[in-house]
Amino acid sequence: MRSFFQRLARGLAKTQQGLTDRIKESIGLRPRLVEQFFDDLEAALIAADCGVDVAATLATETRHSCERDRVTDSAESLVRLKAAMAQILHSMDAVATPPDSDTPPRVALFVGVNGAGKTTSIGKIGCHYARVGRRVLFASADTFRAAAGEQLEIWAERAGAQLIRSVSGADPAAVAFDAVSAARARGLDDVLIDTAGRLQTKSNLMAELAKIRRSADKARGDSGGAAHAYLVMDATTGQNGLSQAAEFAKAVQVEGIVLTKLDGTAKGGIVLAIAHRLKIPVLWVGVGESIDDLETFDADEFVTALLG
């Protein structure tokens, strides 16, 4: 099995190529640092979907760091760029809630728009947990689509997780309640709740998410801790995904982001935009469709995969 770093590097290949090719081209043209180089750098970062403000911040930080240390060689500036990127990503370290602080079962609610990768990510994360000996339950609170429960069932089998399926049209909050109650009765460690995809503009559906979470919390009784909500976000949506994410965060407090489909995009810079603009930690990244194509996010590995 490939290491996570290899999988991440492969997943980020498109972004990495786009970014480094552009930067290297500029270094080739301007081996000694000149102002134009930092403009090129900024443009390359925008093209990688870091967002205009993050790109400007990174270019400025890189320039200041080079000036401070009297760097005159363009290639050397990449080390500074990497440090500036790592700094933005590490600013999220303090925000991330350690998931182990809760009394079992840990309850995680996965929210997001249709097709973001919620069901797939639950399958992959559940598999991770099961591999370290945790006893996992999946719950299908996606009561809109009949096929949703079946898809989750397949993942439950692969991951070795138990499953609570709902009947079509059932109240998703009731499904969440039943799932958490069942996990408590069976002494399980994790409950991963799948929800129906929804658009952030539908306020009734957004309010429903808060209701599902309350219902899960109610089922936990006074056993301490609360359900955590994780937003599953498709990296290929790039900057558009940011405003979407902000709306979800308003409706239901989002503890972290699962960023999927990094493998299919040259927009991997979105990770930096998320940290900078949303201040929500990216906890997991998806780099493919199979069960091993998801890992916990590591800022330093990410920067290395991106810039070498």
Ligand X SMILES: Nc1nc2c(ncn2[C@@H]2O[C@H](COP(=O)(O)OP(=O)(O)O)[C@@H](O)[C@H]2O)c(=O)[nH]1
What's the closest the beta carbon of residue 194 comes to Mg ion, in angstroms?
6
- Residues 59 and 45: beta-carbon distance below 8 Å: yes
What's the closest the beta carbon of residue 108 comes to Mg ion, in angstroms?
15
What's the closest the beta carbon of residue 137 comes to ligand X, in angstroms?
18
What's the closest the beta carbon of residue 267 comes to ligand X, in angstroms?
13
Partner whose binding site includes residue 116, from Mg ion, ligand X, none (CB under 5 to 8 Å by kind): ligand X
Contacting residues toward ligand X, per CB under 6 A: 112, 114-120, 197, 232, 260-261, 263-264, 286-289, 293
Residue 4 or 38 having the CB closest to ligand X: 4
CA distance 219 to 238: 37
Partner whose binding site includes residue 282, from ligand X, Mg ion, none (CB under 5 to 8 Å by kind): none
What's the closest the beta carbon of residue 40 comes to ligand X, in angstroms?
30
Q: What's the longest Cα–Cα distance across the chain?
A: 67
What's the closest the beta carbon of residue 292 comes to ligand X, in angstroms?
11
Beta bridge partners of 260: 234
Contacts with Mg ion by CB under 5 A: the residue count is 2
Number of neighbouring beta carbons within 10 Å of residue 206: 18
Element (H, E) at 295: strand 294-296
User: Three-class SS of residue 113?
Assistant: coil
CA torsion angle for 143, 145, 147, 150 (degrees, to 10)?
A: -10
Partner whose binding site includes residue 255, from Mg ion, ligand X, none (CB under 5 to 8 Å by kind): none
Which one of residues 119, 200, 215, 244 is an interface residue with Mg ion (CB under 5 A)? 119
CA distance 59 to 249: 29
- Residues 118 and 197: beta-carbon distance below 8 Å: yes
Partner whose binding site includes residue 289, from ligand X, Mg ion, none (CB under 5 to 8 Å by kind): ligand X
Partner whose binding site includes residue 260, from Mg ion, ligand X, none (CB under 5 to 8 Å by kind): ligand X
Number of neighbouring beta carbons within 10 Å of residue 86: 15
What's the closest the beta carbon of residue 203 comes to ligand X, in angstroms?
20
Residue 255 or 263 having the CB closest to ligand X: 263
Residue 27 or 249 having the CB closest to ligand X: 249
Residue 219 or 285 having the CB closest to ligand X: 285
Using CB positions, name the residue nearest to ligand X. Answer: 286
Binding region for Mg ion (CB under 5 A) out of 98-106, 110-118, 133-141, 240-248? 110-118
CA distance 130 to 260: 21
Does residue number 166 form part of the binding site for Mg ion (CB under 5 A)? no
Q: Which amino acid makes up residue 214?
A: R
Residue 245 or 299 having the CB closest to Mg ion: 245
Inter-axis angle of helices 203-220 and 172-186, nearest 10: 20
Element (H, E) at 205: helix 203-220
- Residues 263 and 289: beta-carbon distance below 8 Å: no
CA torsion angle for 186, 192, 196, 202 (degrees, to 10)?
A: 110
CA distance 85 to 201: 32
Residue 119 or 215 having the CB closest to Mg ion: 119
Residue list 54-93, contact with Mg ion (CB under 5 A): none
Residue 16 or 260 having the CB closest to Mg ion: 260
What's the closest the beta carbon of residue 274 comes to Mg ion, in angstroms?
22
Token pair, residue 176, equals: 């969440």
Q: Which residues in this chain contact Mg ion in the complex, by CB under 5 A? A: 118-119
